[in-house]
Structure formats: C-alpha cells, structure tokens
C-alpha cells in the first residue's frame, strides 16, 4: 500500500517534488494538491518548465483534476488550511511548499485537518526539527517529529560540505 501524500503549493518546488515522486516512487502516491492558481495554468506549468524543459508525460485537465498519464491528481483551491479535507483523502504526509506556512502554528493546521505529518520545504520556526540528508537525517524519530523542515536549498547545498570540513 502506497504512502499517501499531498502537496500544499504547486509552484516550482511543489511541481518538482510531484515529478520526482511520480517518476521515481511506486511506494508514494500524491493524492492531491492545493494551490490557488488556475488549474489550466498549473497543468501547463507542470508540462513545460523553463529550466528542465518539457516533461515527457501526457497531461490533461478534467474538471477539478489534472491527469498525468491517466492517473488522477485532485486539485484543490482552498486558502484556509482549516478547511482542507486531508482526513477524507487519507493523507498521511503533507508537503508544505507555499513558503507561507513555515511556523509551527500554521503547519499544525494541516495536522488538525487530518494529516499525520508535515514536511515544510523551507526553513521553519518552532518546528520539531530541521533535517539535512547526509548531515543529521539519522536523528529523525517518527514519534518525536510530526512537523519538520528540510531546511533551505542553500543549507542543503552547504551543510554536507561544512560537515566534511568540520570532521
């Protein structure tokens, strides 16, 4: 059974995260996204990326969903986090990729709406922990860490090098 995740914010980071999960993982399923943008624009930006080029997938919009190679991606446009139906969708993990909800109180609203865990894709404040793969990710504990951050792109680039120099 696949881990069910949802992405809040379908900008560059949200779309890139979706593509990585879609292309590389059979164990993770993105069941929904939430973004205030127009669904046709979101589908277009998913297909055509100014940096990575054209994504070689069949993409079409039907109603309130984007279909990627026939697989449905539910698209929500809910500005109020308290109204997100994560429990109804069986969402286990939310990737908070808007850049707006980076503090604990804001990210907690995803859990209050039914998600089990939240990963903030930017530096956060007051979260359970911040992890950088290859630096401190072995410290992750599922019981102690419900709302975490994966730091910033700068930190993820620099921290492994600094760790080697420090050791």
Sheet hosting strand 28-34, strand order edge to edge: 59-62, 65-68, 71-76, 28-34, 3-8, 93-96, 117-120, 147-149, 129-130
How many CA atoms within 13 Å lie on the side-chain side of 133? 2
Catalytically annotated residue among 2, 20, 133, 153 = 153
Q: How many residues does the chain have?
A: 167
How far apart, in whole angstroms, are the C-alpha atoms of residue 31 and residue 150? 21
Strand, coil or helix: 85: coil
Query: CA 147 from chain center: how many Å?
Result: 13
157 catalytic residue (yes or no) = no
How far apart, in whole angstroms, are the C-alpha atoms of residue 10 and residue 17? 9
Nearest CA among 92, 99, 89, 93 for reference residue 36: 99
How far apart, in whole angstroms, are the C-alpha atoms of residue 13 and residue 126? 22
Give the residue numbers annotated as catalytic, written as ranges: 153
């Amino acid at each position: 059974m696949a881990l069910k995740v949802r992405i809040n914010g379908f900008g560059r980071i949200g779309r890139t995260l979706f593509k990585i999960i879609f292309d590389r993982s059979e164990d993770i399923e993105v069941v929904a996204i939430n973004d205030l943008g127009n669904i046709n624009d979101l589908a277009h930006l998913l297909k055509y990326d100014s940096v990575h080029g054209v994504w070689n997938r069949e993409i079409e919009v039907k109603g309130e969903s984007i279909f990627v190679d026939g697989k449905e991606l539910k698209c929500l446009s809910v500005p109020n986090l308290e109204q997100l139906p994560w429990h109804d969708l069986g969402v286990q993990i939310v990737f908070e990729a808007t850049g707006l909800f980076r503090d604990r109180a804001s990210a907690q609203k995803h859990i209050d709406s039914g998600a089990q865990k939240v990963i903030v894709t930017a530096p956060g404040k007051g979260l359970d922990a911040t992890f950088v793969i290859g630096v401190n990710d072995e410290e992750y504990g599922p019981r102690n860490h419900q709302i975490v951050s994966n730091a910033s792109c700068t930190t993820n680039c620099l921290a492994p090098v600094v760790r080697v120099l420090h050791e």
